Amino acid sequence: MRKNQTLGEFIIEKQTEFQYSSGELSKLINAIRLAAKVVNHEVNKAGLVDITGSYGDTNIQGEEQQKLDVLAHEKFIQTLTNREIVCGIASEEEESFISINSLDNRHQNKYVVLIDPLDGSSNIDVNVSVGTIFSIYRRITPIGTPVTLEDFLQPGKNQVAAGYVVYGTSTMLVYTTGHGVNGFTLNPAIGTFYLSHPNMQYTETGKIYSVNEGNYIHFPQGVKDYIKYCQQEEDDRPYTSRYIGSLVSDFHRNMIKGGIYLYPESSKAPNGKLRLLYECNPMAFIAEQAGGSASDGFRRILDLQPSALHQRTPFFCGSRKMVATLEAFMHKSP
């Protein structure tokens, strides 16, 4: 690892590794880097809302104060649109996808981006980490034509790149282009991301399980049995339970320390809560690139063929052996 390598330098160095290297993907990651810094600045100010006025209130200029998740959505859309580097964007915050077309660049770009601009936003009020998740695909429809839904409804295994930003005790940007996973930490004083976590890897197994156990009674039998297994005193168990309630933060911790994240279906939410395109696919791509795995309990997440933009799926993700054990419990008692 070169000392003090910045994200900007890293992107330039890696550009040659991309299969279809035209610089477009590098520009796109650069734009996400910029938007992440802007959103980071806004998230950091969130604790001041009681002083400057609550969200939903009007500020001194008489303008409506925006909710942070809407603001994050707008910052990412603006940055990507202004730079004319993608042909389409879909966001968890918007019902339909956006097709990008400008006078000088008529649908000439080849990538679409799917984004969850501020995941875990219910945690903002209590000063707990939140995140941004992004996922990038090459379009399927021909260049020069407007994007269609088909360009967004691709299985996760087609992803060209994916990543997340965690706005935590430090702000980090972690991403993969299919050549391993690298993490960059923001130095807020100078607004620069530095390579701090090169080649991130899950341990084969871990000792942490992360699930909202309050929903236990509604879980399928296989998940209930797995949770009991995690709590039994045997071999390296009982495991430790850690649940922040912010996917990005829970995922990030488990990738660094070894563990499994579970958001199962339940009798109340038959498809679980998390969205396949905005949350599960990008996290699954990162997990696999870091030697971990991601499943819906029976199938590999990245193999699922999406049928709707906001479709949900059960999600189990983390250290390979832990996910395999969970799947074995699911097969026994679906």
Q: Which of 93, 116, 151, 265 binds Mg ion (CB under 5 A)?
A: 116
Which H/E stretch holds residue 82?
helix 68-82
> By C-alpha distance, which of 52, 1, 43 is closest to 169?
43
Find how far residue 49's CA is from the centre of its chain.
Answer: 26
- The number of residues that bind ligand AHM (CB under 6 A) is 10
Of these, 119, 265, 288, 296, which contacts ligand AHM (CB under 6 A)?
A: 119
Residue with tokens 């309630």: 245
List phi, psi (to 5°) of 110. -105, -5
Closest distance of CB 27 from ligand AHM, Å? 27
Cβ(91)–Cβ(135) below 8 Å: no
Provide the minimum distance between the beta carbon of 245 and ligand AHM in the complex, in angstroms, as a whole number.
5
Of 212, 271, 311, 325, the residue at the interface with ligand AHM (CB under 6 A) is 212
Q: Is there binding between residue 93 and Mg ion (CB under 5 A)?
A: no
294 sits near ligand AHM (criterion: CB under 6 A): no
The angle that helices 24-44 and 68-82 make with each other, rounded to 10 degrees, is: 150
- Distance, in Å, from the CA atom of 63 to the CA atom of 207, rounded to the nearest integer, reads 49
- At its nearest, how many Å lie between ligand AHM and the CB of residue 67? 12
Measured from the CB atom, the residue of 91 and 176 that comes closer to Mg ion is 91
Q: Is 93 in the site for ligand AHM (CB under 6 A)?
A: no
Of residues 235 through 254, those in contact with ligand AHM by CB under 6 A are: 245-247, 250
73 lies in the site for ligand AHM, by CB under 6 A: no
From 69, 93, 119, 265, residue interacting with Mg ion (rule: CB under 5 A) = 119
Q: How many residues does the chain have?
A: 334
151 near ligand AHM, judged by CB under 6 A: no
Closest CA to 158 of 141, 175, 139: 139
The answer to whether 117 contacts ligand AHM (rule: CB under 6 A) is: no
CA pair distance 250, 243, nearest whole angstrom: 6
Q: Which residues bind Mg ion (CB under 5 A)?
A: 116, 119
Q: Which residues bind ligand AHM (CB under 6 A)?
A: 116, 119-121, 212, 245-247, 250, 273
